[in-house]
Amino acid sequence: MNLAEKYLSIRKHAEQLCEPLQIEDYVVQPVVDVSPPKWHLGHTTWFFETFILKPYSTSYQVFNEDYNYVFNSYYETVGNRVIRTDRGNLSRPSVNEVYQYRHYVDDAMVSFLSTEISSEVLELVILGFNHEQQHQELLLTDIKFILGNNPLFPVYDSNKKETISEHINNANMLTVSEGIYEIGYDGNDFCFDNELNRHKVYLNEFEICSNLVSNESYLDFINDGGYQNFNFWHAEGWDWVNTNKINAPMYWHLIDVKWMNYTLQGLKEINLNEPVTHISYYEAYAFASWKGLRLPTEFEWEIAAKNFNWGERWEWTESAYLPYPGFSKAPGAIGEYNGKFMVNQKVLRGSSIATPAEHSRITYRNFFHSHLRWQYTGIRLAK
């Protein structure tokens, strides 16, 4: 597969994710963290236009000058933008116009990629691929939030599964010896700058669970009063529980004394053997505390991950999102990609069922604020 074919393959996946939608679904923004599907489609297109076509394709003509303001996300270097909370107010451009924009930029990119490009531009193209894939995961989870907060609980796709396999509850604890280990990306393929630089860490001996926490185990926590006992929670987490009246994972609903959850296949009875998902860091910490265990650090997770299956849920760790030794931000707008978010967030490791193919690796560092749970987040225990 050449570069242009790879580009089209990745771009096609985003549009496939939107195929089950009705036109009204494209513009909804229920909360600040969820962007309308239409905005995702436009923003990823804007990325290729702004960072590749405009500076490097001499014949390129901008599709619409206003789109820089509409589809810029957080790049201060590139100029003003619609504030994040107002993305759902963008009834225009229309969905049809956004698709026209995508196809216009796609045609220009395919022509551009058929020419000889420098190694510098190639790096930007590959970053664009990975940026698009990041937004494809966000796109699917945002769609789920939009539909899952519709009182009719509409089906997104009756064939779309949210697990790879059911989890058996008799998980083993894997022991990892104390020692000095190397952490971070080591290779010649793509990685994000927050995975660098590779460095050494010392780890005490620890144990880590071979499986993710299941719905059955988490239900035991609920039934034992886990959401009513402050002893298991950080003070900030306890405030979050009480302020927001949290009593179960996101999308769980107690209907006629039966726990149901919203899935991409619609409202279903909870499968006790599946890994619990849509969990905040606060909840992951409280559950671990209830079990008399803890969450692994991101370094423990990375060293142990080759010994267990991962990839169904983003797994909360006990690590703050901080730069690795020797980390430096790239100049210009690209330098805004990760570094400026390294504050007040927790690292998640692995990937999820929403992560596109070829977009996961053992050194990948995802990051979110402690209260967020609309992504496919889960729990792995350690001690």
Is residue 126 located within the same domain as residue 41?
A: yes
Looking at the predicted structure, is the pLDDT value of residue 16 above 70?
yes
Last-in-domain residue among 148, 165, 199 = 148
Looking at the predicted structure, is the pLDDT value of residue 87 above 90?
yes
Is residue 115 located within the same domain as residue 179?
A: no
How far is Cα 188 from Cα 83, in angstroms, rounded to an integer?
37
95: left (phi over 0), alpha (psi -120 to 50) or beta: alpha
Give me the domain span that covers residue 75: 3-148
Is residue 195 located within the same domain as residue 61?
A: no
Is residue 253 located within the same domain as residue 338?
A: yes
| Total domains, the chain | 2
pLDDT of residue 337: 77
Could you read off the pLDDT of 284-310 as tens digits, one per residue? 999 999 999 999 999 999 999 999 999
pLDDT of residue 170: 64
pLDDT of residue 168: 63
Residue 58: inside a domain: yes
What CATH number is associated with residue 194? 3.90.1580.10
* Helix orientation angle between 37-48 and 119-148, rounded to the nearest 10 degrees: 180
Average pLDDT of the segment spanning 146-150: 98
b vs e for 115-140, b when ≥16 Cβ sit within 10 Å of the residue's Cβ?
eebeeebeebbebbbbbbbbbbbbbb
Give the phi and the psi of residue 53 in degrees, each rounded to 5: -70, -45
Q: 199 forms bridges with which residues in the sheet?
A: 183
Could you read off the pLDDT of 210-263 as tens digits, one per residue? 999 999 999 999 999 999 999 999 999 999 999 999 999 999 999 999 999 999
Is residue 144 located within the same domain as residue 201?
A: no
CB neighbours of 312 closer than 8 A, spacing ≥ 6?
163, 164, 212, 275, 350, 352, 353, 376, 378
On whether the CB atoms of residues 82 and 90 are closer than 8 A, the answer is yes
Looking at the predicted structure, is the pLDDT value of residue 43 above 70?
yes
Is residue 237 located within the same domain as residue 108?
A: no
Is residue 184 located within the same domain as residue 140?
A: no
Give the phi and the psi of residue 219 in degrees, each rounded to 5: -65, -35
Is residue 204 located within the same domain as residue 299?
A: yes
Residue 155: inside a domain: no
Residue 243: inside a domain: yes
Give just the sign of the alpha carbon dihedral 314, 319, 324, 327: positive
Is residue 124 located within the same domain as residue 198?
A: no
**Using CA atoms in the order 118, 44, 352, 208, what is the torsion angle rounded to 10 degrees?**
60
Q: What tokens appear for 130 in the block? A: 């990975």
Residue 161: inside a domain: no
Residue 163: inside a domain: no
> To the nearest whole number, what is the mean pLDDT of the chain?
95
pLDDT of residue 76: 80
On whether the CB atoms of residues 210 and 173 are closer than 8 A, the answer is yes
pLDDT of residue 335: 75
Length of the chain: 383
Looking at the predicted structure, is the pLDDT value of residue 323 above 80?
yes
**Using CA atoms in the order 14, 19, 21, 25, what is the torsion angle rounded to 10 degrees?**
40
Percent of the chain with pLDDT over 70: 98
Could you read off the pLDDT of 329-376 as tens digits, one per residue? 888 777 777 888 999 999 999 999 999 999 999 999 999 999 999 999
pLDDT of residue 35: 97
Select from 142, 131, 56 the least CA-distant residue to 336: 131
How far is Cα 380 from Cα 383, in angstroms, rounded to an integer?
11
Interior angle at CA 281, CA 280 and CA 284, nearest 5: 90
CB neighbours of 225 closer than 8 A, spacing ≥ 6?
none
On whether the CB atoms of residues 349 and 366 are closer than 8 A, the answer is yes
Looking at the predicted structure, is the pLDDT value of residue 165 above 80?
no
Residue 322: inside a domain: yes
Last-in-domain residue among 91, 115, 148 = 148
Looking at the predicted structure, is the pLDDT value of residue 171 above 90?
no
Could you read off the pLDDT of 99-119 as tens digits, one per residue? 999 999 999 999 999 999 999
- How far is Cα of residue 93 from the mean position of the Cα atoms in its chain? 26
Select from 174, 224, 182, 173 the least CA-distant residue to 203: 182
Give the phi and the psi of residue 353 in degrees, each rounded to 5: -65, -10
Is residue 215 located within the same domain as residue 330?
A: yes
Residue 297: inside a domain: yes
Looking at the predicted structure, is the pLDDT value of residue 184 above 80?
yes
First to last CA, the chain: 45
Residue 252: inside a domain: yes
Average pLDDT of the segment spanning 179-197: 96
Is residue 142 located within the same domain as residue 177?
A: no
